[in-house]
Each structure stands twice: as C-alpha cells, then as structure tokens.
Amino acid sequence: DAGVTQSPTHLIKTRGQHVTLRCSPISGHKSVSWYQQVLGQGPQFIFQYYEKEERGRGNFPDRFSARQFPNYSSELNVNALLLGDSALYLCASSFGTGQNTEAFFGQGTRLTVV
C-alpha cells in the first residue's frame, strides 16, 4: 500500500507568487492535516480536514487556504508568498480525527521562496 504521497517534493517560487501543494492520503483515510516546519523548529499545525470539511485551523494568515476533495486528497494553497514561507510542508493522514488514531506523515514538500 502506498503511504502518504506529496507533490512536488521540491519547489522554488518568487516572492509574491502563489503555490499549490498536493497530498494524497493513505487509502481509506478520511482526514488530512497540513503542517509547516521551518528549519530548526517543530512542525506547526496549519489545517485539518475531515470528510471535506475544515475541522481545525492553526495560527496562520488568510494567505493560507486548503481544501479536501471527494477522494480525500487535499491541496494547500499559499498566496502572496513571503520569504518566511520557506519551509518543509508536511501532510499527515489519519483514519479519523480522534486522539487514538495514528497520523501518518508524507515526506513533505520543501518550498523555497526567493
């Protein structure tokens, strides 16, 4: 079985541009969460989606948005990119949203904003 897959693996963008990152969860998983990991820090929660509905949102500006599709894959969109948006963006999938459901992480998309 494929694990959580994210695309692209690496991306370079210019300040002011927008970017779309994609995530395919493990088959059967209905919840997808997005995290931003700046170099040297732990992952910071951005969004959680379950059954195509937003279930949680971290402390990120409105430039960050996401959605989940009927097949449970998800996109993270970031508009008006800033240098500080350079980070590893991680997607995690889980069967549900309960605390006892294990979250599996993808390898991440490394975004560099220049």
Partner 1 sequence: GEDVEQSLFLSVREGDSSVINCTYTDSSSTYLYWYKQEPGAGLQLLTYIFSNMDMKQDQRLTVLLNKKDKHLSLRIADTQTGDSAIYFCAERSKLIFGTGTRLQVFP
For every residue of the chain, which 3-state class applies, written as one string? Answer: CCCCEEECCEEEECCCCCEEEEEECCCCCCEEEEEEECCCCCCEEEEEEECCEEEEECCCCCCEEEEECCCCCEEEEECCCCHHHCEEEEEEEECCCCCCCCCEECCCEEEEEC
Nearer to partner 1, 43 or 78 (CB): 43
Nearer to partner 1, 62 or 102 (CB): 102
**Interaction site with partner 1 (CB under 8 A):** 4, 33, 35, 41-45, 56, 90, 92, 99-100, 102-108
CB 80 → partner 1: shortest distance, Å? 26
Nearer to partner 1, 16 or 56 (CB): 56
CB 16 → partner 1: shortest distance, Å? 28
